[in-house]
Chains A and B, each alone.
Chain A
Amino acid sequence: DIQMTQSPSSLSASVGDRVTITCRASQSISSDLNWYQQKPGKAPKLLMYAASSLQSGVPSRFRGSGSGTDFTLTISSLQPEDFATYYCQQSYSTLRTFGGGTKVEIK
């Protein structure tokens, strides 16, 4: 199995801050990486696919980058509605694994 490791597991930030979340794969996954946002009691929402492609309707303050084993999700200016948990998922293997999640909390 391909293991996905996210860091940090949680962070505190203020509105307007720039936030970066990292996801590392246990082997190269090319650019086959998705990012999701999940709010309490809701289903995950696809933010980014193919590492850096923005899903339709997602604000441009979200940016994904990386390839191979190291990936980042950056929120350029954190908004109140961005406080949530973020997950990465590899789609390189037919066994699609998720990272452990990063909870973004209000400072």
Chain B
Amino acid sequence: QVRLQQWGAGLLKPSETLSLTCAVYGGSFSGHYWSWIRQPPGKGLEWIGEINHRGSTNYSPSLKSRVTISGDTSKNQFSLKLSSVTAADTAVYYCAGDYQYWGQGTLVTVSS
């Protein structure tokens, strides 16, 4: 059974870079889509972007200028970086595999 475990800093100051990593256990990194989704407090889901096993990425147009998703097949991990964060980036961030397997979520708060 595939399991995703994610980690990263939970408290950032404005203008810093958000960095989260998601490890894939019990399955292969190859042949799947690996995604990041976020959810501001009390609001709906927002798709951030995804990477496939070939390293090809797609990003939400609204975040594209600040987002980088990368993968490390040797470690079965993929990562999210979001630069120049503001309070509007405060959310629970989820990693997902084929939208079928989900990480536990990480609350990231941006506050001075």
* A interface residue numbers (CB < 8 A to B): 1, 34, 36, 38, 43-46, 49, 55, 87, 89, 91, 94-101
Q: Which residues of A contact B31 (CB under 8 A)?
A: none
Q: Given the known inter-chain contacts A1-B61, A43-B105, A94-B58, please indicate yes or no for A55 contacting B100, CB distance below 8 A.
A: yes
Question: How long is the Cα–Cα vector from A94 to B46 in the complex, in angstroms?
Answer: 14
Shortest beta-carbon distance, A87 to chain B, in Å?
A: 6
Q: Which residues of B contact A97 (CB under 8 A)?
A: 47
Residue tally, chain B, CB below 8 Å to A: 19
* B interface residue numbers (CB < 8 A to A): 35, 37, 44-47, 50, 58-61, 94, 96, 99-100, 102-105
* CB-based contact A95/B47 at 8 Å: yes
* CB-based contact A96/B47 at 8 Å: yes
Number of cross-chain contacts by CB at 8 Å: 46
* CB-based contact B102/A44 at 8 Å: yes
* CB-based contact B99/A98 at 8 Å: no
Residues of A contacting B: mostly? loop
Question: How long is the Cα–Cα vector from A76 to B43 in the complex, in angstroms?
Answer: 27
Question: How long is the Cα–Cα vector from A87 to B99 in the complex, in angstroms?
Answer: 12
Q: Which residues of B contact A46 (CB under 8 A)?
A: 99-100
Q: Given the known inter-chain contacts A43-B94, A46-B100, please indicate yes or no for A101 contacting B45, CB distance below 8 A.
A: yes
* CB-based contact B50/A96 at 8 Å: yes
* CB-based contact B102/A43 at 8 Å: yes
Shortest beta-carbon distance, A56 to chain B, in Å?
A: 9
Q: Which residues of B contact A91 (CB under 8 A)?
A: 99
* CB-based contact B100/A95 at 8 Å: no
Q: Which residue of A lies closest to B59 (CB)?
A: A95
